[in-house]
Each structure stands twice: as C-alpha cells, then as structure tokens.
Amino acid sequence: MSIFNSPERYTAGWRAWLLTDTPTSRNHARIASFYQGWLSFRTNPMAMFGLLILALMVLIAIFAPLLAPHDPLVQDLANRLQPLGTDAHLLGTDSLGRDILSRLIHGARITLYIVILVALIAPIAGLFVGTVAGYAGGWIDTILMRITDIFLAFPRLVLALAFVAALGAGIENAVIAISLTAWPPYARIARAETLTIRNTDYISAIKLQGAGPFRIITRHIWPLCISSLIVRVTLDMAGIILAAAGLGFLGLGAQPPSPEWGAMISEGRKFILDHWWVATVPGLAIFLVSLAFNLLGDGLRDVLDPKDSGS
C-alpha cells in the first residue's frame, strides 16, 4: 500500500483492484462483479431516477416523525377540506381536517412495510417450491406445478380478496394474502432455472463429491437463481403496491385511522369532483413509487440478465 502516496493513486489502485479480470479470492470476485454491475447500472438514467425516488421514500419513511408537519391522526373539523397551498397545510386537508402531507409521509412507512414483508415471503417460498420441483422431477414436480397453476389461474387481486375475507381485515392479513398470491411466478422462474442447471457437468461433479440434494439445492442452485428473482421481485413491486392499495381502498387492508394510501383514496373518492386533491395526491404517490420500481427493475434486468449480451 505504500505505492499509493496520493489520493488519486489510492483511488486508481482501488479501481484497478475492482476491475481486475483475475480476482484473487471468491470475495474479491463478488465485490468486483458487484462494482462492475454498478458501473453498468448507473449509465441508465431512468434506472437511476427510479433508485433516487425509492431512496427518498426510504428516508422519508425513516424520518417521518421529523418530516411530517402535523400529527397524521389528529382531526381538526374547523379546517376540513382545505385546498392545496395553504400556509398550514401544503397539500390540503381531508374530510376530517387531517393534514394530507403528514398522512402521506407516514403512509410511506406502511407501504414500505408491506413491500418489504411481501418481498421477503413470496420470493423465498417460490424459490423453495420451484427448485425442489425442478430438481426432484417426477410426481413431486407434477404436484407442485399443478398447485402453482391453480394459483396462477386466478387474478391476483381477486385471490387476495378471497384470502383476506377468510383471514379478516388488517395489514398483516393483507401481507399474508398478497404473499400467497405472489409466489407462483417465482416458482416458475426457479423451476426453469433449475431444469437448465441440474444436468450440467458442474452439478454432476458436485454429486461425485458426495453432496446430497439439500446441499446441492441450497448451496449451488439457489445462488444461480437469485439474479432472475431479484429482477422479477423489483418489477413485481408495482403490482404488490397496487394490490395493497386496492385492499386498503376496499377497507380490507390497513384499518382507519391508519394513513394508508389506498384508504386515503377511498375516503377522497366521495369528494373527487369538488375537492379532487384528497384522492389525487395519494394516487400520485402510488403512481410515482410504482413507476420508480418499474424503472429500477428495468435497469436491474439489463445488468443481471445473463442472456443480455451487453452485460
């Protein structure tokens, strides 16, 4: 490290270490691959725009109590349905006099909570089902894929409504319902990846070394499926947000007085003609976040898709 006697040479040394074609260890290879992927990703301005929006959303959710100008649950009937741009209420107030901006900021926490939980539950369940079906084959594959087909035969929101009706209204039940409807596409992707991997010489060599099915699936097949699932998860986030908002709109998701964006739209629809901002503002928030996830997903697909010759 003594050759790096200036910040410029130090930076150049690290960059050369990250861009090397001959990594010295497995961790070095992973870090270098991540850095090269980041260099490719940041050349996509739309993907960077989506990442910026989502980063701002995360910061807003973390610092919601500090950023919100008012308590999102406090009612002020004397100031109900105030228009946009008032001194005390930048985005106006709803029918109960609650500050829309404050509710929007705190609602970001609920949206992020739903997105994170579904992103943790559905892909993992789909990965497990898909890899087991693809690796085992035979009757196990047939049974698991027919179950997957049954779930895929129903529209996601309709199936989520059925599960919520059975489980009861509430944000946790909404997360479970959305997760139960979201896992089948991940199972399909994982199965397809596993079918192309299981008969390779790489897997045959591992079998000859004495590795069992569990070790092969978890240590050698799952890592090769992760990149495809990450792209699919990111692209599915918009649909998950819309499903959560739809359940909230119907009163089956987060319950009042929680500042959930779908529930805010449901309340504002009563005043859509005369006081359009009550429903429009949370609707625009859902649109912006959904767009950001789609842009991010497109950028990640360009970087992570192994079939893309430019990656």
Give the model's pLDDT for residue 286. 92
Q: What is residue 63's predicted lDDT score, i.e. its pLDDT?
A: 92
Ordered by start, the domain boundaries in the chain are 14-43, 48-304
Q: pTM for this structure?
A: 0.82
The pLDDT assigned to 310 comes to 43
3-state DSSP call for residue 86? coil
Compute the distance between CA of residue 262 and CA of residue 279 in angstroms, rounded to an integer: 9
For domain 48-304, give its CATH number from 3.90.1640.30, 3.50.50.60, 1.10.3720.10, 1.20.1330.10.
Answer: 1.10.3720.10
* The pLDDT value given to residue 57: 92
Per-residue pLDDT of the chain (311 residues; tens, 9 = 90+): 444 455 555 566 677 766 777 777 777 777 777 777 777 888 889 989 999 999 999 999 999 999 988 888 888 888 888 888 877 888 888 888 898 999 999 999 998 898 889 888 999 999 999 999 988 888 988 999 999 998 888 888 888 888 888 888 788 888 888 888 889 999 999 998 888 888 888 888 888 887 788 888 888 888 888 888 888 888 888 888 888 888 888 888 878 788 889 888 988 888 888 888 888 999 999 999 999 999 998 888 887 764 544 43
DSSP codes, 10-78: HHHHHHHHHS-SS-SSHHHHHHHHHHHHHHHHTT-HHHHHHHHHHHHHHHHHHTHHHH-SS-TT---GG
99: which strand partners?
Answer: 93
